[in-house]
Amino acid sequence: MNTIKRWWQTEAAVTQIILAITVGIFLIEWLLLGDSGIMLFNALGAKNNQAIVAGEWWRFITPMFLHMSLTHIALNAVVIYFMGIQIEAMFGHWRMLLIYFIGGISGNILSFALSNNQSVGASTACFALFGAFLMVGESFWENPVIRQLSGRFLLLTVMNLVFDMFSTGIDIWGHIGGLVGGFLIAYTLGVPRIGKISNVKRVVATVVLVIAWLALLKMGFTNTKLTV
C-alpha cells in the first residue's frame, strides 16, 4: 500500500494509467478486429453521428480509446506520454485527468456538429493537452522558460493543424475542438502549482465552454438525420 501511495504522489500516475488503458484496448482491438474493417470499430464505440442521435452519448468518450492502426496508436501514445507528464506536473493528477477527458469530449462534440464522418482516436484529447500548455503560456508569459516552451508547442500545434488540412482521413474538427476545449478547461481549473488565474478569466472560460457545448450539440442533432 505504501508503494502505491508513493507512486501516486511522485509519478505521472494519471498519464501512465491513461496510456496503459489506451494501449491495452488497442491490443484487444487488434485481436478482435483483424481485417474485419470499419463496422466493428462502429460496434466498439467510434464517433458515429447517427448512433449519437439515437441515444449513444458514450460515443463522445469511447473514440478516445480506439485506434485504426499501429502507426495511429504509436503517434498518439508518444504525445500522451510526453505531453501528459508535463501537463500532470503543472496541473496535478485530477486536473490533468479532467483536461484530457473534457478536452477530448469537446473535440468529439465539434466533430459531431461539423462532420458526418465516423472517427476514432485519442487525438482530440492529445490536442487538449496542447491547448492546456498554450493556456499556461498565455497566462504566465512573463516566465522566460514557460514562454520559450510555449512558443515551441505553439509552432508544433500549428504544424499539426496545417498537416491535418492537407491529409485525408484526419478529423481536423476533432483536433480543433480538442485544442480549444483543453485551452478553456485549463483556465477553468487553474494552475495553482504555477500561479493564480483571475476568477474573471476562469468564469468566462467556463461559460464559453458550456455555451459552446450546448450550441454544438444542438447543431449536431439538427444536422443529423436518422436512417432506418
Assigned fold of 2-223:
Rhomboid-like fold (1.20.1540)
Among this protein's residues, is 72 annotated catalytic?
no
Distance CA 106, CA 128 (A): 9
- CA 112, CA 47: separation in Å to the nearest integer? 8
Report the alpha-carbon distance of residue 15 to residue 4 in Å, rounded: 15
How many CA atoms, within 13 angstroms, populate the side-chain half-sphere of residue 47? Answer: 33
pLDDT of residue 100: 97
Confidence at residue 228, expressed as pLDDT on a 0 to 100 scale: 43
Cell of 219: 447543431
Give me the average pLDDT of each 10-residue run along the chain (228 residues): 58 91 88 58 86 94 90 87 91 95 97 92 92 89 75 71 65 92 96 90 96 96 73
Tell me which residue of 64, 85, 27 sits closest to 181, measured CA to CA. 64
Could you give the angle at the alpha carbon of 101 between the alpha carbons of 95 and 107, nearest 5°? 130
Residue reference for cell 496541473: 91
Q: Using the 8-state DSSP alphabet, how is residue 63 labeled?
A: G
pLDDT of 9: 60
Instruction: Give, as one character, the DSSP assignment of residue 166.
Output: T
Q: What is the pLDDT of residue 24?
A: 92
Segments making up each domain of the chain, as ranges: 2-223
pLDDT score, position 139: 87
Q: Which position among 106, 111, 123, 150 bears the catalytic label?
A: 123
Instruction: Give the phi and the psi of residue 47 in degrees, each rounded to 5.
Output: -70, 115
123 is catalytic: yes
